[in-house]
């Protein structure tokens, strides 16, 4: 199921973060000194990125086949981007991972169009919300290489990939003959738009005067359900144009669906110059889809009384004869007998007259799919009652590849598990293969390659066809030091214990099965003990495990709980602290939640975490104030103040180090960054140079390093990304790149305590990504081997002071191999003429005796091919002057200056 997704605290992401300023009271967080050096970032090590496999997990509202090239198929999701089907690999390929933090709304895809005249071209209309939840405007992305790369045309209005009505469509369409012409149906009263230059620029079609005023709930003050649906689909009649390319004629007849129950369908017969409401059309319903069989001259329409995708109590299916204007009600169910609307609608292009439609909003006992082979005169159903409550199904469900789709449920007939589906608004028969059908649900993409067995009363098999399409919103992640490498908290499907990152888990968390898990924790010194909290109508909303998350049991909950909130486990697993949503406030328990004691000294709604060493120490944060408890969470006292009071704030305690805490968060225009405490939260120091930070996590220390590797979703040096530090935050490297950004990544992050360099990244719609480094042995500053004495003139050095302040500086150094043989390690030396000193060095190991300095390669950058280079940097100190060294030697041989 996909619920409306709101990213709290993102209203101003595009603004520049301000520094914490002003006088601070005693015990307050300490700002960075005004003359402190900014955080240094080194060149990114090589990382590879993969999804932790779940397969699906969210609503797929649209599937689009190309009409002229076999096996060219796209999928759109409401918050998780777009995908292209890879036939050879039987998997989906993500296409919008390049979307960055500031443009996170563009991960919501309201419509897709594949160009039938030029199959290399594909278009995506993007934008997640039309209300103020999304600060950005919509855009149309265009690609000439099937989504490998994109160009963007910004629109002067918003689009709603996760708004009501997102299963209607497609709103975006390409003229099948003059493919430089596209149409886009806009929401929010913005009307119909057209491009005549292949999506590069757009203008409003002023001759189309009905902007579509239907609103799901006009009384909704948030703007979510009260927004106008607008123009919801565009369909070309390809029989009214000819040719492709330079000699093509523009398609003359175009049909448009409008969010208006009295005036739902319009037509132009002069290539969009003028428009007319189709006479005699049914009223009282919204036309979710309009699909044209140009050969037979029929426009099929699926109607519902609401916009969906969750609701719809009545519906109809109609057929319009394009030549005569005749309307015919071909509904497979009499209106009086419907309890659902119709939406999913498709034709078999190989078998004219075969049409299928879905009862998208039939939640109970199951969705229904109808099929006709005589243009809608008669219909058969995917399932029927034999003798209520028993059912006879035309199909079998094989979910062995994604076994969690059963939800571990044991429903009472006539319900089945797994369900045929729900929210089934995307339904498509392959235009080249009558046996192949796919449809989207609220959790997956299902399909069959045996569809025509339906017509022979022979059972056909439906399977998940969702590999590679990862569409979960990730709310929390933990990587314990033993047991499963990763345990996840997810929206809508609860979460999983991931024993193999490359395999689909057999089942989500059950007993209880939260609709969304909001918080996870494990006992640091007893990692088989876990606790999770989450949302569940009627409760319970907290659960415990004593076998590393393999099995769970529910705890009791105090009065006033309405949601999961945050939860923390003591280091030894002997007690827990819970800060649920609602009026209950923070509570503590020993054992496994059979009784709870209200904590004092900490406000309701505070975020809670545990110290990773002392089992009686817990921490909390709320409204800019940090709290601590030393009696197992029964009483808290305020410690540091002056921390970010606005925006989202997340903090964690470092494993193995009592009282060592990192805190990330804030809001643009206010305090926003990364803070560190080593005294249990009594004082915090803000890290210089970290412009913004939203999540912090820890992983295995680098080789030869004692402190855990830090990982953060942050903005450092003006660049947004996923960053790693191996020296307690003194220096950082960005480990992702511009092709791997995944929109918003601020919910949570963690390293792996067993694998150096591995980081798990949470996204809001693209699932869990994990990155592994190719660094030999790992590490950003490990030791190397002495290369001996290279030949004279075999090296060139560039030394640059990149930043300098009173008493300190940073320098970048590059050493190039100008010889004809590869180096297997290097050791660069120089002398400081003015008595400067080396402080922290990254990507090399420093040594200094008096004024003489050496820099030895790290474990991963010692091999340098002829013509290749290695780079490193360092911070240093100076007094008086800071001249550049006059000479450099490599293994005793002098290098030339670069």
Residue 113, number of CB atoms within 10 A of its CB? 26
How far is it, in rounded angstroms, from Cα 110 to Cα 557?
Answer: 40
Residue 804 confidence (pLDDT): 85
| pTM score, whole prediction | 0.84
- In the structure encoding, which two tokens stand for residue 215, read together? 């609103």
Q: Is 111 in a helix, a strand, or coil?
A: strand
- In the structure encoding, which two tokens stand for residue 316, read together? 């109809």
How far is it, in rounded angstroms, from Cα 873 to Cα 396?
Answer: 62
Residue 42 confidence (pLDDT): 55
pLDDT in tens, 621-633: 999 999 999 999 9
CA-CA distances (angstroms) from residue 718 to 17, 714, 721, 875?
A: 10, 10, 10, 20
Averaged pLDDT score across all residues of the chain: 92
Examine the residue annotation and report whether 528 is marked as an active-site residue of this protein: no
How far is it, in rounded angstroms, from Cα 592 to Cα 54?
Answer: 29
Phi, psi of 355 (to 5 degrees): -135, 145
Residue 24 confidence (pLDDT): 28
In the DSSP assignment, the letter for residue 29 is P
Residue 144, number of CB atoms within 10 A of its CB? 15
Buried b (16+ CB within 10 A) or exposed e, 590-602: eebbeebeebeeb
Spans in the chain with pLDDT lower than 70: 1-44, 776-793, 892
SS3 per residue for 279-297 = CCCCCCCEEEEEEEECCCC
Catalytic residue among 78, 648, 752, 812: 78
CA-CA distances (angstroms) from residue 844 to 55, 781, 828, 860?
A: 41, 5, 10, 10
Nearest Cα to 186, choosing from 208, 216, 201? 208
Torsion of CA 537, 541, 546, 548, to 10 degrees: 70
- In the structure encoding, which two tokens stand for residue 832, read together? 């400081």
How far is it, in rounded angstroms, from Cα 53 to Cα 486?
Answer: 12
Residue 39 confidence (pLDDT): 55
Catalytic residue among 55, 134, 492, 772: 492
How far is it, in rounded angstroms, from Cα 260 to Cα 859?
Answer: 66
DSSP β-ladder status, 139-143 and 122-126: antiparallel
Examine the residue annotation and report whether 500 is marked as an active-site residue of this protein: no
Residue 6 confidence (pLDDT): 40
């Amino acid at each position: 199921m996909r619920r409306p997704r709101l990213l709290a605290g993102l209203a101003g992401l595009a603004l520049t973060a301000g520094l914490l300023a002003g006088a601070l009271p005693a015990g307050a967080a300490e700002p960075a000194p005004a003359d402190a050096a900014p955080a240094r970032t080194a060149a990114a090590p090589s990382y590879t990125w993969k999804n932790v496999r779940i397969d699906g997990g969210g609503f797929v509202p649209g599937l689009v086949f190309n009409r002229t090239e076999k096996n060219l198929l796209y999928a759109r999701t409401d918050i998780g981007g777009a995908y292209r089907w890879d036939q050879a690999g039987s998997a989906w390929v993500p296409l919008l991972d390049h979307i960055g933090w500031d443009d996170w709304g563009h991960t919501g895809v309201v419509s897709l169009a594949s160009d039938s005249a030029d199959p290399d071209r594909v278009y995506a209309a993007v934008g997640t919300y039309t209300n103020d939840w999304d600060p950005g405007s919509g855009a149309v992305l265009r690609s000439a290489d099937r989504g490998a790369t994109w160009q963007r045309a910004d629109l002067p209005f918003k689009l709603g990939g996760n708004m009501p009505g997102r299963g209607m469509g497609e709103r975006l369409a390409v003229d099948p003959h003059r493919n430089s012409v596209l149409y886009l149906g806009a929401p929010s009263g913005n009307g119909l738009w057209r491009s005549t230059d292949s999506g590069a620029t757009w203008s409003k079609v002023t001759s189309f005067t009905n902007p579509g005023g239907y609103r799901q709930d006009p009384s909704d003050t948030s703007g979510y359900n009260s927004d106008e649906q607008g123009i919801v689909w565009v369909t070309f009649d390809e029989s009214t144009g000819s040719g492709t390319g330079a000699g093509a004629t523009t398609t003359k007849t175009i049909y448009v669906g409008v969010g208006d129950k009295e005036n739902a369908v319009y037509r132009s017969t002069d290539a969009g110059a003028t428009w007319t409401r189709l006479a005699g059309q049914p009223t009282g319903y919204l036309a979710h889809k309009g699909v044209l069989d140009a050969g037979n001259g029929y426009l099929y329409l699926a109607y519902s009384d609401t916009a969906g995708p969750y609701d719809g109590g009545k519906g109809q299916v109609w057929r319009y004869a394009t030549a005569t204007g005749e309307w015919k009600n071909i509904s497979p169910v009499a209106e009086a007998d419907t309890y659902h609307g119709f939406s999913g609608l498709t034709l078999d292009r190989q078998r004219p007259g075969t049409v299928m439609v879905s009862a998208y909003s039939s939640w109970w006992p199951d969705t229904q799919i109808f099929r006709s082979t005589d243009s809608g005169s008669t219909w058969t159903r995917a399932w029927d009652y034999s003798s209520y409550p028993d059912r006879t199904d035309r199909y079998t469900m094989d979910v062995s590849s994604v076994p969690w789709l059963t939800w571990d449920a044991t429903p009472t007939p006539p319900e089945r598990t797994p369900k045929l589906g729900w929210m089934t608004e995307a339904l498509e028969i392959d235009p080249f293969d009558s046996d192949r059908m796919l449809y989207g649900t609220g959790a997956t993409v299902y399909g069959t390659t045996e569809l025509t067995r339906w017509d022979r009363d022979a059972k056909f098999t439906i399977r998940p066809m969702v590999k590679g399409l990862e569409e979960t919103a990730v709310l929390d992640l933990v990587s314990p030091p033993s047991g499963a490498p990763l345990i996840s908290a997810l929206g809508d499907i609860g979460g999983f214990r991931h024993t193999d990152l490359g395999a689909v888990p057999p089942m989500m968390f059950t007993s209880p099965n939260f609709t969304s898990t909001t918080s996870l924790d494990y006992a640091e010194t007893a990692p088989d003990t876990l606790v999770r909290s989450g949302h569940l109508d009627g409760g319970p909303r907290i659960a415990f495990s004593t076998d590393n998350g393999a099995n769970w049991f529910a705890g009791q909950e105090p009065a006033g709980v309405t949601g999961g909130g945050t939860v923390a486990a003591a280091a030894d697993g002997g007690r827990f602290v819970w800060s649920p949503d609602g009026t209950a406030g923070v509570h503590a328990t020993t054992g496994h939640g059979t009784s709870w004691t209200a904590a004092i000294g900490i406000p309701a709604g505070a975020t809670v975490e545990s110290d990773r060493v002392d089992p009686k120490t817990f921490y909390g944060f709320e409204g800019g104030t940090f709290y601590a408890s030393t009696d197992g969470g029964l009483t808290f006292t305020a410690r540091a103040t002056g921390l970010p009071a606005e925006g989202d704030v997340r903090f964690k305690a470092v494993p193995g180090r009592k009282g060592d805490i990192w805190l990330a968060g804030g809001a643009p225009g206010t305090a926003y960054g990364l803070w560190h405490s080593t005294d249990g939260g009594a004082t915090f120091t803000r890290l210089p140079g970290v412009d913004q930070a939203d999540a912090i996590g820890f992983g295995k220390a680098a080789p030869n390093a004692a402190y855990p590797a830090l990982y953060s979703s942050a903005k450092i040096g003006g660049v947004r990304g996923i960053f790693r530090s191996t020296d307690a935050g003194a220096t950082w490297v960005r480990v992702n790149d511009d092709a791997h950004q995944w929109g918003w990544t601020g919910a949570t992050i963690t390293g792996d305590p067993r694998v150096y360099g591995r980081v798990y990244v949470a996204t809001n719609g693209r699932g869990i990504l994990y990155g592994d480094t190719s660094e030999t042995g790992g590490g950003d500053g490990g030791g190397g081997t002495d290369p001996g004495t290279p030949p004279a003139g075999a090296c060139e050095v560039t030394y640059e002071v990149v930043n300098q302040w009173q008493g300190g500086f940073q320098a970048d150094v590059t050493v190039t191999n100008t010889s004809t043989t590869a180096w297997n390690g290097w050791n660069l030396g120089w002398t400081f003429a003015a008595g400067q000193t080396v402080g922290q060095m990254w990507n090399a190991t420093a040594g200094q005796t008096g004024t003489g300095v050496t820099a030895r390669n790290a474990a991963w950058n010692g091999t340098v091919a002829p013509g290749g280079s290695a780079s490193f940097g360092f911070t240093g100190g100076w007094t008086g002057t800071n001249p550049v060294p006059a000479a450099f030697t490599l293994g005793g041989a002098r290098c030339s200056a670069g």
